[in-house]
Structure 1
């Protein structure tokens, strides 16, 4: 009698390409290679022609791991039976914390977008409440716009002000850019 784990490994070796098998081995040994602190902030995302691509949570982690790249390559090549030629670190494919990876793989694309929106810095936690009286009272486009403007004004009264333009700004934007998104874009353009 073989254990289920052994049977699954046997099936995987028959189904997966050699490159997919190598990537699976890389994923399994990455936490051990990178260490306790960094494994939470990084994870393998692809493996192609000897190059391992790692998603990192932030540019800081990307830079830190890039500085340790040669050590990590040495450890990987000591552990694996196939050569790892290089490691590339990027924040581009980081989406979710590592502990949510299994949950994310079972979600639909619409769940992915709702998760992204939930964590977006411009998000303000107000529910959009549309009552029947709002719909019926919006007789013309002008009155509809006026009702919308009034609702937006009421919602934004409690928000902190952008230090640059003094407009109400979601707290997430101030945390991320220290100014509102419009001022942040103007600062990037200039």
Structure 2
């Protein structure tokens, strides 16, 4: 007969044990969790830990001014990280552009603003090729989308010839 299963544990208990293991292992998860307290609210909003390799924590800053602020407060930040029990020997400060996705909004609004909409912008004649084209394209590129495509193809061909 198999051994009886261990008694069920609460989710809270499981999460507490996981948190303790993170702390013991000196993992990035623990650093992520402590980051707002360690860096302070202003730095934490614009800078974040990226990697921890061989005791060197790489921290990314969203803008050169925030990178400068990190460099200025590097020693204090390193002391706070060590005092919290994280096994970090040194900090490496990097420029890191986070790609925060903005809310794209309603796709219908985007479609209504699209320069190729003839029902919204009307029609005109392309000054280059003389073809009828949406007025929005003329305002956006100065010519129709077919001429724009030809320009992009020519630019790409010149780039590969060099």
Q: TM-score, normalised by structure 1?
A: 0.49
Change (3 A) 1:89 1:95: farther
CA shift, 1:52, in A, is 1.1
CA shift, 1:37, in A, is 1.6
SS of equivalent to 2:59? strand
Select which of 32, 41, 53 maps to 1:36: 41
Which residue of the partner structure matches residue 61 of structure 2? 56
Instruction: Confirm or deny that 1:87 pairs with 2:74.
Output: no
**Higher strand fraction (1 or 2):** 2
C-alpha distance in structure 1 between counterparts of 2:138 and 2:79, whole Å: 58
Which residue of the partner structure matches residue 133 of structure 2? 147
Select which of 22, 41, 60 maps to 2:27: 22
Unaligned runs of 5+ in 2: 1-7, 106-111, 120-124, 143-162
Instruction: Confirm or deny that 1:75 pairs with 2:62.
Output: no
Aligned Cα root-mean-square deviation (Å): 4.0
Aligned residues: 122
CA shift, 1:68, in A, is 0.7
Bigger Cα Rg:
2
Unaligned runs of 5+ in 1: 97-111, 119-124, 133-137, 158-190
Q: TM-score, normalised by structure 2?
A: 0.56
Change (3 A) 1:13 1:33: closer
1:80-105 Cα distance to aligned partner (Å, 9 max, x none): 1x421111222324222xxxxxxxxx
C-alpha distance in structure 2 between counterparts of 1:69 and 1:28, whole Å: 19
